[in-house]
């Protein structure tokens, strides 16, 4: 086997490690952080503690299944995005683990971002669709609803520029707040989508609040809470959430295609893994939309490991 490349990612709700080679994914494992029922998230201190607890068995399992002598480089998600002030304590746990691995093996360590890892993971298996020309991407999750312009050079990601997105509540927060109000577990995407799938009443609508390349979900979430208080059906409200997101993102992408001249968009992040959202988006948008494959929409370290390979080879 050719060289091996390791990735470590410690996001708000998932501890992830991965190993890739030039042939593809060699090892991939992740552990979801535990959120008490009824809660809408974790404090950073609690999340860091869980990452510190989760990392040793994950790293031990990975190093036990690969040839350590073949490891060429390690990469870690050191912060959420490339923005100058981007910072979250949870990523320090992963940075400590990755630094320790790289130092003990005497190999290169590359620091990247959680967002870049998502974009790179979504490209896996379809890199040929994205030339060196810029392309649009969206990172849709509980902590990010970003519209991105991705620049490549020599087949590798060079820069990721945020050109728009959500001004208040992120898409994943929108889903989770409605889901938790219904008594669903956190994160609520899978359970809320299941409710939306069986909705008989699809007549109630939420406005798609879009201005140029920016959108908003806070008012829509408040309206959902009022509907719930007034006794509206769970299924109808759940479908309204996904319908609203689809109409919002289709408008954002339509504006972005016109402004940038790009013809391709790559959607990543946990929210983009919703098959219902993908179906509704495709109904409204006649464009080339691509998504992560093989369960790589949600938080993972595969993209981070692929970036280790890209950086090392470059």
Task: Report residue 167's pLDDT band, with 50, 70 and 90 as the boundaries.
Answer: confident
For CA atoms 178, 181, 182, 187, the dihedral sign is positive
**pLDDT at 91 exceeding the cut of 60:** yes
Please report the pLDDT score of residue 131 as a whole number. 79
User: Superfamily assignment of 164-291 in CATH?
Assistant: ATPase, nucleotide binding domain (3.30.420.40)
DSSP 9: E
Please report the pLDDT score of residue 155 as a whole number. 82
Please report the pLDDT score of residue 305 as a whole number. 98
Average model confidence (pLDDT) for the chain?
96
**pLDDT at 1 exceeding the cut of 80:** no
**pLDDT at 89 exceeding the cut of 70:** yes
Helix (H, G, I), strand (E, B) or coil at 65: helix
How many CB atoms are located within 10 Å of the residue 31 CB?
16
pLDDT digits (tens, 9 = 90+) for 198-227: 999 999 999 999 999 999 999 999 999 999
DSSP-derived secondary structure for 236-262: HHHHHHHHHHHHHHHHHHHHHHHHH--
Please report the pLDDT score of residue 119 as a whole number. 98
Task: Report residue 300's pLDDT band, with 50, 70 and 90 as the boundaries.
Answer: very high
Q: What is the Cα–Cα distance from 200 to 203, expressed in whole angstroms?
A: 9
Mean pLDDT of 281-310: 96
DSSP-derived secondary structure for 164-184: EEESSS-HHHHHHHHHHHTT-
DSSP-derived secondary structure for 203-227: ------EEETTEEE-HHHHHHHHHH
Percent of the chain exceeding pLDDT 90 equals: 95
DSSP-derived secondary structure for 254-287: HHHHHHH---EEEEESGGGG-HHHHHHHHHH--S
pLDDT digits (tens, 9 = 90+) for 147-165: 999 999 988 899 999 999 9
Please report the pLDDT score of residue 314 as a whole number. 82
- Residue-level length of the chain: 314
Domain chopping of the chain, boundaries:
4-124+295-313, 164-291
Mean pLDDT of 244-262: 97
Mean pLDDT of 105-123: 98
pLDDT digits (tens, 9 = 90+) for 34-83: 999 999 999 999 999 999 999 999 999 999 999 999 999 999 999 999 99
Please report the pLDDT score of residue 3 as a whole number. 95
Q: Which CATH fold topology does 4-124+295-313 show?
A: Nucleotidyltransferase; domain 5 (3.30.420)
Please report the pLDDT score of residue 157 as a whole number. 94
**For residue 243, what are the CA distances in angstroms to 219, 255, 266?**
15, 19, 20
Which of 100, 88, 76, 81 is closest to 13 using CA atoms? 88
Mean pLDDT of 239-251: 98
This model's pTM is above 0.75: yes
What are the DSSP E strand ranges found in 35-185?
71-79, 108-113, 135-140, 145-153, 156-166
Please report the pLDDT score of residue 217 as a whole number. 98
Q: Do 4-124+295-313 and 164-291 show the same overall fold? A: yes
Strand partners, 79: 113
């Amino acid at each position: 086997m050719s060289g091996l490349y390791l990735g470590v990612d410690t996001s708000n709700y998932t501890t992830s490690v991965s190993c890739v080679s030039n042939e593809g994914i060699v090892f991939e494992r992740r552990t979801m952080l535990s959120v008490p029922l009824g809660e809408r998230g974790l404090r950073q201190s609690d999340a860091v503690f869980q990452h510190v607890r989760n990392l040793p068995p994950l790293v031990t399992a990975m190093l036990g299944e690969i040839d350590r002598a073949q490891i060429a480089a390690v990469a870690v998600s050191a912060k959420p995005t490339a923005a100058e002030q981007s910072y979250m304590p949870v990523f320090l746990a992963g940075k400590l683990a990755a630094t320790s691995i790289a130092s003990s093996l005497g190999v290169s360590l590359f620091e990247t971002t959680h967002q870049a890892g998502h974009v790179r993971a979504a490209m896996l298996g379809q890199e040929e669709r994205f030339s060196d020309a810029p392309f649009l991407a969206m990172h849709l999750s509980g902590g990010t609803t970003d519209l991105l312009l991705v620049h490549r050079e020599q087949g590798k990601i060079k820069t990721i520029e945020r050109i728009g997105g959500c001004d208040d509540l992120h898409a994943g927060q929108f889903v989770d707040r409605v889901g938790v109000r219904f008594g669903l577990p956190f994160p609520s995407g899978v359970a809320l989508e299941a409710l939306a799938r069986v909705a008989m009443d699809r007549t109630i609508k939420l406005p798609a609040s879009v201005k140029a390349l920016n959108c908003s979900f806070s008012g829509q979430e408040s309206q959902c809470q009022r509907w719930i208080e007034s006794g509206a059906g769970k299924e109808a409200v759940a479908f309204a959430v996904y319908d609203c997101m689809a109409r919002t993102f289709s408008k954002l992408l339509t504006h972005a295609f016109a402004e940038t001249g790009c013809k391709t968009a790559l959607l990543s992040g946990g929210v983009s893994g919703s098959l219902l959202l993908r179906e509704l988006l495709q109904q409204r948008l006649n464009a080339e939309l691509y998504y992560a494959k093989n369960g790589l929409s949600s938080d993972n370290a595969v993209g981070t490991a692929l970036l280790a390979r890209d950086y090392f080879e470059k």
